[in-house]
A and B are shown apart, each in its own frame.
Chain A
Amino acid sequence: MKDIFANLYNKVVSFFNKTDAEQSNAKDVACNRLKLVLMQDRTNLTPAIMDRMRKELIELLSKYLELDRELLDLNFEHEDNQMALMLSIPVIRAKNEDEIQEILDKEDEEKRKLEELSKSDSEEDDSEDDSEEKDDDDSKDEDDSEEDEEDDDSEEEDDSDYNDEDDSEEEDDDDESDDVESDDVEDIDENTKKEKFFSKKDKK
């Protein structure tokens, strides 16, 4: 009985909510589309670049603040002959010192490892890797999305990035061909991937 009433209530509520949303649509859609298109008109930045800038900004600010990423609002405005970048993001909370320190340390470490890597890369003889790489690439490149899922799985199972030699080796090669050279600014997923990559190389 209770269920039936709850169901009914939900239906009624969703009905009214839906009509509300529909009514506010045309105007809000117009406003949002306009803001976006004007941003591009005013700056000559393509949507792809804007999107990347947005992601990078979020990534940068996320180091220090916990943000509501969905509600991020990026806009350019004219102000007497000058253009101003207006960025408004709801802050959920400021991170405390320890958290920030942890992230910064992690980053420094990554940088250090990257440097080491580039050194070792130049010294390394990669004839061996090449043969392996080809095999792996064929299977991997076909479905990147699946690969990502795999990544997540392995993390959960291992609880650490330092295990699972075979798996990470495969990823190594893939990363090398795909990510390091290309200019991806992907999500955190990407970072964890790279971490694996670095740790593997260290072991070698």
Chain B
Amino acid sequence: MAGRVIVITSGKGGVGKTTTSANIGTALAKLGNKVVLIDTDIGLRNLDLLLGLENRIVYTIVDVVEERCKLKQALVKDKKNPNLSLLAAAQTRDKTSVTSEQLKDICDELKKKNDFILVDCPAGIEQGFQNAVAGANEAIVVTTPEMSAVRDADRIIGLLEAKEEIESYKLLLNRVRPKLIEQNDMMSVDDVVEILSCDLIGVIPEDTGIITSTNKGEPIVNDEKALAGQAYRNVAKRIMGEDIPLLDLNVKESFFDKLKNLFTKGKV
């Protein structure tokens, strides 16, 4: 079995790389795939928190590289889903503790026994990014419809283009706010796609549920009702090759809302 190694990256921090990694990983596992999540943000690890696994971590990726344990020992199984496991980053070290070659070796090793290896990339375009990308064949570029995030995504796309190992990359537009877009206060999905000229793998609406799910250490894909959870489940299916249309994010306005908007906007 040769699994797929997908790096989840963005350039800019805070756009939702780690949230995306946790959710897509969980969704893929729920669909019956064997999935390993690798946190490469050494020194600033967070993926364990989002999965609620922070108390179970014994060994980290640095321990594996420095041969204090076997790779298998460092993989932490998810509470709910035995198909999903996490290789955590070390919190007390820095990005130089692991080299690109070492990360590539780990990915190659994990590929043999898993369907998907998702690499959660640190922000920035320095060594941490180079390491995370080293073992991957595919990439998901996470961005939001904000200028700075789109600009950084463009930079990342330029760097990914230059990497021969990366066979394909897709765009994931996070924290989309349909209402603002409707009022022309925010760039639309089409605007961002046109500017970056990159294929889309999914659109995730802004959802306050993300905050509560992070607080509980439970990815939002486990919440069947949440719109963001639905969007992430769709992304997972698209990664597996299914053809699923984008979610309709437009919130249905009640008659009263329409009436209110009519007066506040002064629009005909």
Contact = CB atoms under 8 A, between A and B. Distances in A.
Contacts of A16: 266-268
Interface string B26-59: 0000000000000000000000000000000000
B185 interface: yes
Chain B interface SS verdict (over half): helix
Interface size class of B (residues with CB under 8 A): 20 to 34
Interface in B156-182: 157-158, 161-162, 181
Contacts of A27: 181, 184-188, 191
A38 B154 contact: yes
A23 interface: yes
Interface in B66-99: none
A78 B159 CA distance: 12
Classify chain A's interface size: 20 to 34
B191 A31 contact: yes
A94 to B, nearest CB: 29
A33 B147 contact: yes
A81 B161 CA distance: 6
Interface string A88-105: 000000000000000000
Contact of B195 (A23, A26, A31): A31
B5 interface: no
Q: Which 3 A-B pairs have the closest CB atoms?
A: A26-B185, A27-B184, A24-B184
30 contacts: A16-B266, A16-B268, A19-B265, A23-B185, A23-B267, A24-B184, A25-B184, A26-B185, A27-B184, A27-B185, A27-B191, A30-B147, A30-B186, A30-B187, A31-B191, A31-B195, A33-B147, A34-B150, A34-B151, A34-B187, A34-B195, A37-B151, A38-B151, A38-B195, A41-B154, A42-B154, A78-B157, A78-B158, A78-B197, A81-B162
